[in-house]
């Protein structure tokens, strides 16, 4: 079955808040817990959400034109992110020598923790007030670790889960136009904020796979960007080797961000991205391969997902109808091998 028709036949479940008990918490402590999570309703919802978002942006370019105007709810999330960005300007980095990160990031994080209820109230209003305890943990873990002063794919995933939870309570609507703006308005603004946090507060990458790593900080931008380009035949995958690249899709934006923060030959500091550019024949295969890699390298790694608040709206119920939990890859399910298909020795 084609991805688009399969995705649209599997609507996201709406969760009624009165049925929920405990708010989300850290549930993953062992590798066994990771396997349990993969069988939960929350995990299935998250995979489906990412597939729906990717499907919504196929053939779309930035900035969004000739599409329905974004909703007031999208405007509200953008306003929240703008507020957080303004805080960075109000909390400059400390000038004292610091080896890893800048302690001002902890001040920024403390303000987020202190004002998170206020931010959620401004965003959601009284109608969704009962959702605050289920949304607050994922919001607080979306921008990095204030203790370790680092940022990585787990924090990025936490923000995507925050957006999923907003959809599950139907603050956001699981409709193509809304999902398109979730990616190309909200997620773009989120990435820009996180890049600002990384630059101003010199945040460390939250772990790295070295030569097999895709990007030190982020992953979803490459998935959504390759989704935008999925059916493209004029723009080749190899075109990423010829910067500067137009900033009209998230894949090219992410590549140019790498060039901004890293120096030296691209094939040396970003060997995985270089391997994709020279070894994958079309964007469809890039997209499906990256989905598979995300399942294995991010969602399948305890050191990443142990920091995700789970439960609550991300239901920790292992009785999942497997028809509603398809692998994110169209080609094959994720495997224990953390390397992407194009990185396999021949």
The per-residue pLDDT for range 176-222, each reduced to its tens digit, is 999 999 999 999 999 999 999 999 999 999 876 554 589 999 999 99
Of the chain, the end-to-end C-alpha distance in Å amounts to: 30
CA distance 184 to 193: 14
In degrees rounded to 5, what are phi and psi of residue 117?
A: -65, -40
pTM, two decimals, is 0.90
Dihedral over Cα of 13, 328, 258, 109: its sign: positive
Could you tell me if 320 and 41 are in contact, meaning their C-beta atoms sit under 8 angstroms apart?
Answer: yes
Is the pLDDT at 106 greater than 80? The verdict is: yes
Could you tell me if 322 and 41 are in contact, meaning their C-beta atoms sit under 8 angstroms apart?
Answer: no
Could you tell me if 309 and 164 are in contact, meaning their C-beta atoms sit under 8 angstroms apart?
Answer: no
Which own/partner pairs from 253-256 qualify as long-range (CB within 8 Å, at least 24 positions apart)? 253/62, 253/188, 253/191, 253/221, 253/225, 254/191, 254/215, 254/218, 254/221, 254/222, 254/225
Write out the two tokens for 230: 């999925």
Task: Enumerate residues 6+ apart whose C-beta is below 8 A from 279.
Answer: 342
Per residue in 263-277, pLDDT (tens digit) is 999 999 999 999 999
Coil, helix or strand at residue 306: coil
Q: Counting every residue, how long is the chain?
A: 346
Range 17-24 average pLDDT: 77
Which residue bears the tokens 């990031």? 105
CA distance 108 to 248: 31
CA distance 311 to 42: 8
Per-residue pLDDT at 100: 83
pLDDT band at 338; cut points 50, 70, 90: very low
Per-residue pLDDT at 11: 67
CA distance 336 to 178: 34
- Find the range with the poorest average confidence among 118-132, 213-227, 319-333: 319-333
Give the CA count within 13 Å in the CB-facing half-sphere of 17. Answer: 16
Per residue in 138-175, pLDDT (tens digit) is 999 999 999 999 999 999 999 999 999 999 999 999 99
pLDDT band at 334; cut points 50, 70, 90: very low
Task: Enumerate residues 6+ apart whose C-beta is below 8 A from 57.
Answer: 179, 180, 183, 184, 224, 227, 228
Per-residue pLDDT at 30: 96
């Amino acid at each position: 079955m084609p991805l688009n028709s399969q995705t649209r036949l599997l609507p996201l479940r709406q969760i009624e808040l009165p049925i929920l008990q405990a708010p989300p918490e850290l549930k993953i402590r062992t590798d066994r817990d990771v396997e349990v999570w993969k069988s939960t309703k929350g995990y299935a919802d998250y995979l489906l959400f990412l597939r729906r978002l990717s499907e919504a942006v196929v053939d779309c370019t930035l900035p969004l034109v000739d599409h329905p105007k974004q909703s007031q709810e999208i405007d509200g999330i953008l306003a929240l992110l703008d507020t957080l960005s303004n805080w960075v300007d109000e909390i400059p980095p400390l000038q004292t020598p610091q080896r890893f990160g800048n302690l001002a990031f902890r001040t920024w994080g403390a303000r987020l923790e202190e004002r998170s209820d206020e931010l959620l109230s401004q965003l959601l209003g009284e109608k969704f007030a009962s959702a605050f305890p289920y949304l607050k943990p994922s919001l607080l873990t979306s921008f990095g670790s204030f203790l370790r002063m680092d940022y990585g794919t787990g924090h990025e995933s936490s923000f995507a889960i925050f957006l999923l939870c907003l959809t599950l309570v139907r603050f956001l609507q699981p409709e193509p136009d809304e999902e398109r703006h979730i990616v190309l308005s909200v997620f773009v603004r989120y990435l820009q904020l996180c890049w600002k946090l990384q630059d101003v507060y010199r945040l460390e990458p939250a772990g790295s796979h070295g030569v097999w790593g895709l990007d030190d900080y982020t992953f979803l931008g490459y998935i959504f960007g390759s989704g935008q380009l999925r059916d493209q035949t004029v723009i080749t995958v190899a075109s990423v080797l010829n910067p500067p690249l137009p900033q009209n899709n998230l894949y090219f934006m992410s590549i140019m961000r790498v060039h901004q923060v890293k120096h030296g030959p691209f094939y040396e500091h970003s060997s995985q991205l270089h391997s994709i550019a020279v070894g994958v024949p079309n964007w469809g295969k890039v997209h499906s391969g990256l989905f598979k890699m995300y399942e294995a390298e991010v969602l399948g790694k305890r050191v990443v997902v142990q920091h995700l608040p789970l439960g609550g709206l991300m239901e920790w119920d292992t009785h999942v109808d497997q028809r509603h939990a398809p692998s994110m890859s169209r080609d094959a399910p994720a495997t224990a091998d953390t390397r992407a298909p194009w990185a396999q020795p021949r």
